[in-house]
Amino acid sequence: HKNGLQVAIDGPASAGKSTVAKLVAKQFNYIYCDTGAMYRAVTLKTIRSGISLDNEKEISAIVRNSKITFAPDENGQKVFIDGDEITQDIRSENVTNSVSAVAAIADVRKQLSAQQQEIAKDGGIVMDGRDIGTAVLPRAEVKIFLIASVEERAKRRYKENIQKGINTPLEELQLEIEARDYKDSHRKISPLTKADDATEIDTTALSIEKVVSEIAKVINLKLNLN
């Protein structure tokens, strides 16, 4: 692609996707795009509008009539819907526990995938999500599938929460992660699954730096081939 490779990073909740995707993007001077933030933005607006999570028609209309935008920030990126900043608001427990229902709606996926393809069309991008390597960018030059044990992933979320002053018990976080992974892996349209040609990295015992350097190796291999 004109601006470089398309790098797709998929995997279950809290496997480290966004953390490493941001660092990889920085290293290669690529754009970073957090597709989960787009599903979260739609979910937040749905909740704020008082629309029920099973009202597919109204939720599709929300996607059609909203503009989700990103702006670079020292910690990654800020997220906006219709010009209002929602970077923090989309990380709330309420949004986290509702987002998989919204993400299962066919028309929501269709519209957001099209926006993601437009953002990625010139390459030079690291995009993270659940279906990037399988559905959004099936021809991405680099596909990474990050996994980690559910215990480790719950611990990571727990630590993150403590820093934000949130005290949800570890067991509860683990159940929440399992429930979301189940929904994301069992929906009809583009469920969470590893692409056949993706490189799987188990991050359970790996530092962030190590995961970034493993992904950088895969990218450099591709770049040297071209």
Q: Which of residues 76-105 bind ligand CDP (CB under 6 A)?
A: 99-100, 103
CB-nearer residue toward ligand CDP: 14 or 219: 14
- Going by C-alpha positions, the residue among 53, 164, 57 that lies closest to residue 99 is 53
Secondary structure of residue 31 in the 3-state scheme = strand
CB-nearer residue toward ligand CDP: 19 or 77: 19
DSSP annotation of 89 reads G
Q: Where are the alpha helices (DSSP H) in the chain?
A: 17-28, 35-48, 56-64, 93-103, 106-120, 150-163, 170-186, 208-225
**Nearest distance, CB of residue 220 and ligand CDP, angstroms:** 20
Position with the least CB separation from ligand CDP: 36
Binding-site positions for ATP: 11-19
Question: According to CB under 6 A, which one of 56, 89, 160, 176 is a site residue for ligand CDP?
Answer: 160
CB-nearer residue toward ligand CDP: 1 or 91: 91
For residue 145, state whether it binds ligand CDP (rule: CB under 6 A).
Answer: no
In this structure, the number of other CB atoms found within 10 A of the CB of residue 208 comes to: 12
Query: Do 116 and 197 form a contact (C-beta atoms < 8 A)?
Result: no
CB-nearer residue toward ligand CDP: 5 or 79: 79
Task: Please report the sign of the dihedral spanned by the C-alpha atoms of residue 191, residue 195, residue 196, residue 202.
Answer: negative
User: Which residues here bind ligand CDP, judged by CB under 6 A?
Assistant: 11, 13-19, 35-36, 39-40, 99-100, 103, 129-132, 156, 160, 180, 184, 203, 206-208, 211
